[in-house]
Amino acid sequence: MSALKCGVLLSGSGTNLQAILDQIERGLPVEVVHVLSSRPDAFGIERARAVGIPTTVFDRSVYADPQQADARIVEVMRAAGAEYLVMAGYMRMLTPVVLQAYPDHVLNLHPALLPSFKGAHAIRDAWDAGVKVTGVTVHFANEEYDRGPIVAQRAVPVLEGDTIEALEERIHAVEHELYPQVLRAIAEGRMSMDAEGKVHIHEA
């Protein structure tokens, strides 16, 4: 089985990238062929460079024209041979330029159980709402923010006596497990989408 070739988009520390790289070391059939950062100071770029993954770094000026920026993303990722794009803390909304180049092949990770608590402050919003259960969602990105087809979800309970910091730590731990599991399912051909656009992951 050939490795699934993925390009990773990030904006920050790159902990989800690192989780994927760690699982690749343990046999995950995925190859990260390129990492692109929307910020020059993102530590995720250093993680990629440390293991020899080619990188591209944008700064704020590149996004003056979002469509032109996304055209460059497509160019870079196609040249790298990326079959899927994996958003790992990428804090820019992708335009149709990327989404149409990679239809149903752009994955995003969200720290809540979509469709609840969309947006950039999902953990805080769930905490403030007083929910007893939140979680993690992997979904396909589309032109509506946090509304693409859901690929996988996992619940994370809010515990008695919890702090938001402890909850956030547990959510991130689940992210680091769930994202590689989804990539494995895709690499092994165990993911499908039905005629209604619902995604199914089949047991190995």
pLDDT at 1 over 80: no
CA separation for the pair 148, 39 (Å, rounded) = 25
Please list the active-site residues.
110
The model carries a pTM of 0.95
The confidence score (pLDDT) of residue 171 equals: 98
The confidence score (pLDDT) of residue 84 equals: 98
Q: pLDDT tens, 3-42?
A: 999 999 999 999 999 999 999 999 999 999 999 999 999 9
Share of the chain above pLDDT 70, in %: 100
144 — pLDDT class (breaks 50, 70, 90): confident
pLDDT at 147 over 90: no
